[in-house]
Amino acid sequence: MSNQDIINGYKIIPMTSSEENYLIINYDSYDSIYGNIFIASTNKGICYIGLGSETEMLEELRKRYSLSDLVKKTDQQHSAAISQITDPDSAAEITFHIKGSDFQLEVWNELLNTECGKTCSYKDIAEKIGKPKAVRAVATAIGQNPVTFLIPCHRIIRSDGTLGGYYWGLDIKKKILKHESFR
């Protein structure tokens, strides 16, 4: 499977190093059922979604894309992302334009196959990408996912059925999983 396959309405376009330099990234903050959501996008797709204050998230975006021009501006991609986060059953097609190693991109692509309302384990993801012994590396890649909610790292749990970790906190992970299971 290539990184540009459409999976459940989503597509990942890998960002190259040369593309990242002097890229224009639009960003804005939005109120949601999970609190303040910060969304950033390039002309090719969503490049970042995080939770927290705009000041904190803007700092995170600057760290990730230090040579890019950041512009506070809402765009249609943001609206599609908010709709999908609010109603996981909405039928939006969303493209992600993100940077990552080949391994990370492979893991993030596999996450897109985890259906809304369901969970799978880190071990399952490692096996699905053909690297069954790479469970810790898979967990690390999942923890570095730049597009929370839409690349569904929150749906990945430990093999024993416990939630494991979540970058944005276990309370948010529980809330997202509950919201998705009651759709």
- The predicted-structure confidence for 137-153, as pLDDT tens digits, reads as follows 999 999 999 999 999 99
Cβ atoms < 10 Å from Cβ of 2? 9
CA 5 to centroid of chain Cα atoms? 16
Residue 1's pLDDT is what? Answer: 46
Residue 94's pLDDT is what? Answer: 94
As annotated, the residues of the chain forming the CATH 3.30.160.70 domain(s) are 6-96
Residue type, 148: T
Residue type, 50: G
Angle at which helices 102-111 and 135-143 cross, to 10°: 80
Q: Give the sheet arrangement for strand 46-51, strand by strand.
A: 6-7, 10-14, 94-98, 46-51, 35-41, 24-32, 69-72
Query: Which two structure tokens, joined as six digits, stand for 84?
Result: 């999908």
DSSP calls for 89-100: T----EEEEE--
- 101-181 folds as Arc Repressor Mutant, subunit A (1.10.10)
Is 120 considered catalytic here? no
Regions in the chain scoring below 70 on pLDDT: 1-4, 91, 183
- 6-96 folds as Double Stranded RNA Binding Domain (3.30.160)
Residue 183's pLDDT is what? Answer: 53
- Residues 47, 116, 120, 153: which is the catalytic one? 153
As annotated, the residues of the chain forming the CATH 1.10.10.10 domain(s) are 101-181
- Is this prediction's pTM over 0.85? yes
